[in-house]
């Protein structure tokens, strides 16, 4: 992984980060090394070998900077210091080294849409209307309604409920914050402010050797500057959803291009941006087209938002969805880069969402939990784009138990939505919100990592009060027993991450074609190598090839997303096998011994899929 590019044989030169496996670490909950109940950087360093053995290439560390923790570090008060419970700047240096000596890399979380109210810049900005940093944040005078009541500059609703404006007594103006009032938005219109961001937050860490950034809320830096009211979509609220006022604004591409030129490119740093509220490929491509020189990759959220009631008011009112809906979304975002110079990402978990196995799998019995977590693993590992895993996904960590009450929830967003439901006084709204939180809340992914079956799950020493409660199931679901267990989810991940690399032409770089789009239980698709000159369909175009020119090679992925046995589709037909061709089972989530025996010769049809079984067939 040295250098910017990796030689990929006949695929040609591709940037190293395309076939890398990224792994997100949520520092508060990964590993506590000093008994204060909070995870920390030394704790993470002690587990780097675990990540290396899993097959991780890049660690993405969620924010560790100094912060009053109004939003778990996404409110930074000093970008050049580390929040003391997490460690020190020197600990980050040690972490960089620990990654690099293993051939791994480290990216940090860059939070520069906003700072904390405790940041020196904001303190200066709020000190007077004439302060030179006044325009580093977004200040506006009050408005007055027909009755002469003071109201905010616009009617916008923020992400964490409530208005996007907070009144500042001292200078008698409002400041803008898309998130909590402790997270004032920086004003990217100010060139001095932008320069300070590049220098102070990015170059500082890149100089110290970090390899790049996951860039928070990357499409919200350029606001529409008219500051007008959003249309009223919820007449019962003073605040209205208004993402069109700040997402993908008029200067966004200029800003990101500049950021890349000044603070990423000179270091060869990798970038992956968080791109919310951007559900159209035509809007996403400009960010990730290589020629545009903006971001290497982005996270597009249509899939991971399945089940939510929307982004704003009804977010936590759960909306059930069908497998065909999910497949359509995946197909859309798998294929949107085909024929372009763009790139995409693959993920089904992060720190802002419930656990994948609880949302998309089946946790009703231990067998179904294990089977579905493996099938989700196979699904992710066979999709095109750069793969991102979230801590605990590899051991099938589940949502918090549904017996836990609101007291166990700590996240500002979930708690604000719950308070809003309570304020409505409507019992059904309260119950529905609690139900939705039970599936979707950000808290589920933030509880301590389950390392082993010792008290506190090996996350912290026995007797320590952990910052969030340890899952009741830690004795059954933990990394230690899965390291030992042959058929464990963890060992399946290790295996499949290696297969993904071995067959990267198919899995990382291949084209995607959905099969059986309307099937309610089977998720099946063909992955086809992009190499070769033939444009023929796999149905008419058989097997393989290594080398330039000639035919492409293909794999068919068949995943049973149900607890019933399902017939398997005609694998040989899909692969375009001739009589003498054999379709081979490359991998199954079921027993690996079986897998070797499963060759499909002439006229053979594949056996039925067991509940939540996933398989990949190839014909080369």
CA distance 73 to 387: 24
| Partner whose binding site includes residue 111, from Ca ion, ligand GLC, none (CB under 5 to 8 Å by kind) | ligand GLC
- Is residue 200 at the binding interface for Ca ion, with CB under 5 A as the rule? no
Site string for ligand GLC, 528-547 (x = CB under 6 A): --------------------
| Partner whose binding site includes residue 71, from Ca ion, ligand GLC, none (CB under 5 to 8 Å by kind) | ligand GLC
- Is residue 71 at the binding interface for ligand GLC, with CB under 6 A as the rule? yes
**Which token pair is 148?**
């002469």
Task: Confirm if 178 and 158 have CB atoms less than 8 A apart.
Answer: yes
In the annotation, is 78 catalytic?
no
| Partner whose binding site includes residue 577, from ligand GLC, Ca ion, none (CB under 5 to 8 Å by kind) | none
CA 609 to chain centre: 30
CA 297 vs CA 93, 273, 284, 300, 409: distances in Å: 25, 6, 10, 10, 32
Helices (H) then strands (E): counts for the chain: 18, 23
40, 109, 173, 274: which is the annotated catalytic residue? 274
Q: How far is the CB of 274 from ligand GLC (least distance, A)?
A: 6
Half-sphere exposure of 224 (CA within 13 A, CB side): 14
CA distance 450 to 447: 9
Q: How far is the CB of 308 from Ca ion (least distance, A)?
A: 32
Residue number with CB closer to ligand GLC (111 or 577)? 111
Q: How far is the CB of 412 from ligand GLC (least distance, A)?
A: 8
| Partner whose binding site includes residue 185, from Ca ion, ligand GLC, none (CB under 5 to 8 Å by kind) | none
**Which token pair is 279?**
């559900």
The correct pick among 22, 60, 74, 503 for binding ligand GLC (CB under 6 A) is 74
Q: How far is the CB of 609 from ligand GLC (least distance, A)?
A: 36
| Partner whose binding site includes residue 34, from ligand GLC, Ca ion, none (CB under 5 to 8 Å by kind) | Ca ion
Residue number with CB closer to ligand GLC (272 or 556)? 272
Task: Confirm if 590 and 608 have CB atoms less than 8 A apart.
Answer: no
| Partner whose binding site includes residue 38, from ligand GLC, Ca ion, none (CB under 5 to 8 Å by kind) | Ca ion
CA distance 48 to 70: 28
CA 561 vs CA 286, 372, 516, 519: distances in Å: 34, 8, 13, 10
Q: How far is the CB of 587 from ligand GLC (least distance, A)?
A: 32
| Partner whose binding site includes residue 40, from ligand GLC, Ca ion, none (CB under 5 to 8 Å by kind) | Ca ion
Binders of ligand GLC among 101-140, rule CB under 6 A? Answer: 111
Buried b (16+ CB within 10 A) or exposed e, 172-203: ebbbbbbbbbbbbbbbbbbeebbebbbeebbb
Q: How far is the CB of 564 from Ca ion (least distance, A)?
A: 45
Binders of Ca ion among 11-50, rule CB under 5 A? Answer: 32, 34, 36, 38, 40
| Partner whose binding site includes residue 205, from Ca ion, ligand GLC, none (CB under 5 to 8 Å by kind) | none
Half-sphere exposure of 294 (CA within 13 A, CB side): 23
- Is residue 352 at the binding interface for ligand GLC, with CB under 6 A as the rule? yes
The correct pick among 86, 121, 175, 179 for binding ligand GLC (CB under 6 A) is 179
Interface with Ca ion: number of residues (CB under 5 A): 5
CA distance 478 to 416: 31
Q: How far is the CB of 85 from Ca ion (least distance, A)?
A: 6
Q: Are strands 165-168 and 173-176 parallel, antiparallel or unpaired?
A: antiparallel
- Angle among Cα 444, 275, 386 to the nearest 5 degrees reads 80
Q: Which residue is nearest to ligand GLC (CB)?
A: 74
In the annotation, is 120 catalytic?
no
Question: Among candidates 593, 584, 588, 583, which has minimal Cα distance to 612?
Answer: 588
Q: How far is the CB of 174 from ligand GLC (least distance, A)?
A: 19
Rg (CA), the chain: 25
The residues, ordered by sequence, that sit 6+ positions from 372 with a Cβ below 8 Å of its Cβ are 357, 360, 361, 362, 363, 612
| Partner whose binding site includes residue 32, from Ca ion, ligand GLC, none (CB under 5 to 8 Å by kind) | Ca ion
Binders of ligand GLC among 289-328, rule CB under 6 A? Answer: none
Binders of ligand GLC among 251-290, rule CB under 6 A? Answer: 274
- Is residue 91 at the binding interface for Ca ion, with CB under 5 A as the rule? no
Residue number with CB closer to ligand GLC (214 or 551)? 214
- Is residue 217 at the binding interface for ligand GLC, with CB under 6 A as the rule? yes
DSSP states along 448-482 = PP---SSGGGGTS-TT---SSPPPTTTTTS-HHHH
91, 216, 505, 581: which is the annotated catalytic residue? 216
Q: How far is the CB of 473 from ligand GLC (least distance, A)?
A: 25
Residue 243 CB: number of other CB atoms within 10 A?
19
Reported in sequence order, the residue ranges of 169-314 that DSSP labels E, i.e. its strands, are 173-176, 212-215, 270-275, 297-300
Task: Confirm if 416 and 445 have CB atoms less than 8 A apart.
Answer: no
Q: How far is the CB of 526 from ligand GLC (least distance, A)?
A: 33
Residue number with CB closer to ligand GLC (274 or 296)? 274
Residue number with CB closer to ligand GLC (348 or 373)? 348
Task: Confirm if 501 and 386 have CB atoms less than 8 A apart.
Answer: no
Tell the burial category of 59 from Cβ atoms under 10 Å away from its Cβ (0-12, 13-18, 19+).
buried
| Partner whose binding site includes residue 443, from Ca ion, ligand GLC, none (CB under 5 to 8 Å by kind) | none
| List of residues contacting ligand GLC (CB under 6 A) | 71, 74, 111, 179, 216-217, 274, 351-352
Catalytic residue annotation: 216, 274
Binding site for Ca ion (CB under 5 A): 32, 34, 36, 38, 40
């Amino acid at each position: 992984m040295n250098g910017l590019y990796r030689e990929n044989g006949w695929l040609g030169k591709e940037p190293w980060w395309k076939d890398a496996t990224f792994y997100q670490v949520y520092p508060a909950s990964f590993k506590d090394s000093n008994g204060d109940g909070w995870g920390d950087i030394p704790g993470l360093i002690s587990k780097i070998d675990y990540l290396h053995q899993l097959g991780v290439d890049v660690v993405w560390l969620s924010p560790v900077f100094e912060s009053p923790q109004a939003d778990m570090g996404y409110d930074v008060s000093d970008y050049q210091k580390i929040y003391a419970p997490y460690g020190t700047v020197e600990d980050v240096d040690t972490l960089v080294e620990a990654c690099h000596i293993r051939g791994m890399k480290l990216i940090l979380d860059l939070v520069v849409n906003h700072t904390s109210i405790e940041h020196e810049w904001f303190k200066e900005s709020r000190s007077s209307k004439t302060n030179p940093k006044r325009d580093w944040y977004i200040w506006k005078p009050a408005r007055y309604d027909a009755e002469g009541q003071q109201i905010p500059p616009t009617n916008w609703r923020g992400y964490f409920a409530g208005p996007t404006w907070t009144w500042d007594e001292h200078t008698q103006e409002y400041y803008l914050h898309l998130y909590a009032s402790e997270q004032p938005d920086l004003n990217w219109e100010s060139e001095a402010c932008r320069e300070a961001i590049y220098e102070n937050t990015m170059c500082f860490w890149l100089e110290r050797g970090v390899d790049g950034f996951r860039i928070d809320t990357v499409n919200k830096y350029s606001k529409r500057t008219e500051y007008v009211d959003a249309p009223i979509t919820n007449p019962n609220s003073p605040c209205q959803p208004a993402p069109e006022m700040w997402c993908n604004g008029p200067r966004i591409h200029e800003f990101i291009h500049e950021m890349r030129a000044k603070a990423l490119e000179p270091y060869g740093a990798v970038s992956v941006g968080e791109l919310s509220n951007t559900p159209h490929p035509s809007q996403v491509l400009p960010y990730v087209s290589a020629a545009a020189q903006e971001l290497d990759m982005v996270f597009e959220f249509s899939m991971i938002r399945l089940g939510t009631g929307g982004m704003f008011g009804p977010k936590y009112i759960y909306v059930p969805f069908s497998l065909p809906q999910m497949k359509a979304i995946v197909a859309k975002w798998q294929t949107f880069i085909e024929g372009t110079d763009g790139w995409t990402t693959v993920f089904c978990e992060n720190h802002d969402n419930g656990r994948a196995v609880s949302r998309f799998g089946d946790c009703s019995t231990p067998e179904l939990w294990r089977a579905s977590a493996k099938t989700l693993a196979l699904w992710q590992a066979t999709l095109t784009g750069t793969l991102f895993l979230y801590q605990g996904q590899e051991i099938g960590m589940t949502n918090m138990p549904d017996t836990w009450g609101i007291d166990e929830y700590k996240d500002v967003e979930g708690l604000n939505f719950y308070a809003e439901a309570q304020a409505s006084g409507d019992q059904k709204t309260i119950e529905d919100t609690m139900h939705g939180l039970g599936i979707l809340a950000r808290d589920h992914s933030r509880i301590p990592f389950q390392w082993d079956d010792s008290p506190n799950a090996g996350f912290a020493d026995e007797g320590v009060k952990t910052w969030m409660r340890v899952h009741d199931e830690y004795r059954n679901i933990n990394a230690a027993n899965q390291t030992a267990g042959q058929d464990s989810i963890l060992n399946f991940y290790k295996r499949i991450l290696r297969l993904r690399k071995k067959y990267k032409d198919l899995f990382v770089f291949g084209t995607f074609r959905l099969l059986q789009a309307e099937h309610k239980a089977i998720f099946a698709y063909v992955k086809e190598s992009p190499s070769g000159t033939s444009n023929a369909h796999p149905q008419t175009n058989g097997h393989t090839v290594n080398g330039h020119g000639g035919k492409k090679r293909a794999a068919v992925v068949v995943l049973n997303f149900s607890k019933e046995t399902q017939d398997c589709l005609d694998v040989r037909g899909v692969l375009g096998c001739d009589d003498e061709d054999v379709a081979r089972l490359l991998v199954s989530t079921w027993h690996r011994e079986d897998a070797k025996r499963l060759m499909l010769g002439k006229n053979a049809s594949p056996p039925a899929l067991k509940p939540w079984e996933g398989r990949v067939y190839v014909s080369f």
